[in-house]
Amino acid sequence: MNTAPALMNVMDELQVPLQFMTSLAIGLLLGLERQRNPIAKAGLRTCALVALFGTICGLLAQVTQSTWVVTAGLLLAGAMIIAAYAGEALPEGESGTTTVIAVLLCYVLGVMVWYGRTQHAVGLAIAATVLLHFKTELHGFSDRLAPGDITSMLQFAVLSFIVLPLLPNQGYGPYQALNPHHLWLMVVLISGVSLSGYLALRLAERRHGLLLIGALGGLVSSTATTLVYARQCATHREMTLLASSVITIANLMVLLRLAVIGGIAAPEALPRLLPVLAAGAGCGVLPVLWQSRAAANPAALNLPVAENPTQLRVAALFGLVYACVLLGAAWLSDMWGNRGLYAIAAVSGVADVDAISLSSLQLFNTSRIDASTAVIAIVIAYVANIVFKFAIALAAGSAALARQCALPFAAASAGLVLAVLFQW
């Protein structure tokens, strides 16, 4: 006996009750949060009923084929909650608008559930509840942002949502290597990663410790972090161990940064790339942990002053460097094969690991090189960059600082090379 039709009928009969139960759960979730606010005019029961009301309006609109039913319901729900606050004396700093929006959101999410957008409705309900619940933390975050930080986010929005869509998505120049849309997409990627670290670094406090300061410095700019702390060590020799810990953590963080960039720019290369980066980080982190335990109070160090990574000048400069490296890598790879790519990786990696890493991954994406070749180029660039950071520690800092950085740098480099040889 075929039970499939009977099972389908049962599922159809359960669909409507399930939709109403989902609406009820959404309303209760938002209402539970509003119930905690003593001045809110809507709590558990009101929000739950409004969500159910939205689902009922969606049902009636579908049955009667009258879209105005949903609109009328929204106006009624809005008028109800606004009337509840009319003429009410509220404490200073409270307007009641958050509860009004929460009630209207309950109604709209209830309508979405009826029209089959259950997953979106539940996700939005959870996100809205999180925003409502963490009011104090979000206000504190906003208060600690400087005007320049807001400017940084606006500049990143311009780079991402205004400049990027305007650029043509096709290759130009030799080897069709220069795609304006792809070039700027990589600029947005690097700016986004750097901006996250920049904002976190601006909000961080010295009491958060060496690991956090070094990690955030590495996200923004490991070169700038190395130079800042090397100079501090040059004037305060007693901070040598502490400064070396921050410098080495920042440069190990570059490996995590490369993993994130690789996962976005060339996910197919990750099976080859991730084990190598993990080996380098694992070997380098052991001496760093020993140094950080032996270091003095991190409050003795000042947080580095990082440059806004989303400034148009900074973004355009990276785009130019990336375009030159990409074109050079394509040309040398075509002329001399892998040796040409490795040569430009060693040279360009001294100044910037991101550009050659993205270039190698792009060559892999276009099937000009295999994943192993791209990984070797990235490792060469990182090792060249580490040698340059060692030179900064020695020249701008002191011989003692360079000695402290030597073991973690050498361990991370050895881990990368051994992992590559093991894969090979």
Per-residue model confidence as pLDDT tens digits over 32-45:
888 877 777 778 88
Find the range with the poorest average confidence among 85-99, 138-152, 402-416.
Answer: 85-99
Residue 373: partners with Cβ closer than 8 Å, 6 or more residues away: 338, 341, 360, 364
- Residue where a domain stops, chosen among 140, 175, 196: 140
Contact 265, 361 (CB under 8 A): yes
Side-chain-side CA neighbours of residue 250 (13 Å) = 34
Q: Are residues 213 and 351 in the same domain?
A: yes
Residue at 384: amino acid letter: A
Segment 330-345 shows an average pLDDT of 84
Burial 333-354 (b: 16+ CB within 10 A, else e): beeeeeebbbbbbbebbbebbb
Q: Is the pLDDT of residue 255 over 80?
A: yes
Q: Is 33 exposed, middle or buried (0-12, 13-18, 19+ CB in 10 A)?
A: buried
Phi, psi of 192 (to 5 degrees): -65, -45
Torsion of CA 380, 385, 386, 391, to 10 degrees: 130
Q: Specify the pLDDT at position 217.
A: 75
Whole-angstrom distance, CA of residue 25 vs CA of residue 4:
30
Q: Are residues 200 and 246 in the same domain?
A: yes
Q: Is the pLDDT of residue 10 over 80?
A: no
Distance of CA 70 to the CA centre of its chain: 37
Confidence grade of residue 327 (pLDDT, cut at 50, 70, 90): confident
Segment 153-160 shows an average pLDDT of 82
Q: Tell me how many domains the chain contains.
A: 2
Q: Are residues 84 and 193 in the same domain?
A: no
Comparing CA positions, the residue from 90, 115, 111 lying closest to residue 27 is 111
Comparing CA positions, the residue from 163, 183, 164, 162 lying closest to residue 172 is 183
Per cent of the chain over pLDDT 70 is 83
Q: Are residues 99 and 128 in the same domain?
A: yes
Q: Is the pLDDT of residue 416 over 90?
A: yes
pTM: 0.69
Q: Are residues 174 and 97 in the same domain?
A: no
- Residue where a domain stops, chosen among 113, 140, 167: 140
Q: Are residues 206 and 315 in the same domain?
A: yes
| Residue range 92-133, pLDDT digits in tens | 556 567 888 888 999 999 999 999 888 888 888 898 888 888
Q: Are residues 99 and 210 in the same domain?
A: no
Contact 276, 375 (CB under 8 A): yes
- Residue where a domain stops, chosen among 115, 140, 165: 140
Find the range with the poorest average confidence among 292-296, 350-354, 370-374.
Answer: 292-296
Q: Is the pLDDT of residue 150 over 90?
A: no
Q: Are residues 287 and 333 in the same domain?
A: yes
Per cent of the chain over pLDDT 90 is 20
| The most confident of 118-127, 154-163, 238-247, 269-278, by mean pLDDT | 269-278
Q: Are residues 154 and 185 in the same domain?
A: yes
Whole-angstrom distance, CA of residue 35 vs CA of residue 49:
14
Q: Are residues 184 and 274 in the same domain?
A: yes
415 SS3 class: helix
Q: Which two tokens stand for residue 263?
A: 């996962």
Q: What is the mean pLDDT of the chain?
A: 81
Q: Are residues 284 and 385 in the same domain?
A: yes
Give the Cβ contact number of residue 223 at 10 Å. 21
Q: Specify the pLDDT at position 179.
A: 84
Q: Is the pLDDT of residue 158 over 50?
A: yes
Segment 211-222 shows an average pLDDT of 76
**Structural domain of 123:** 4-140
Q: Are residues 266 and 383 in the same domain?
A: yes
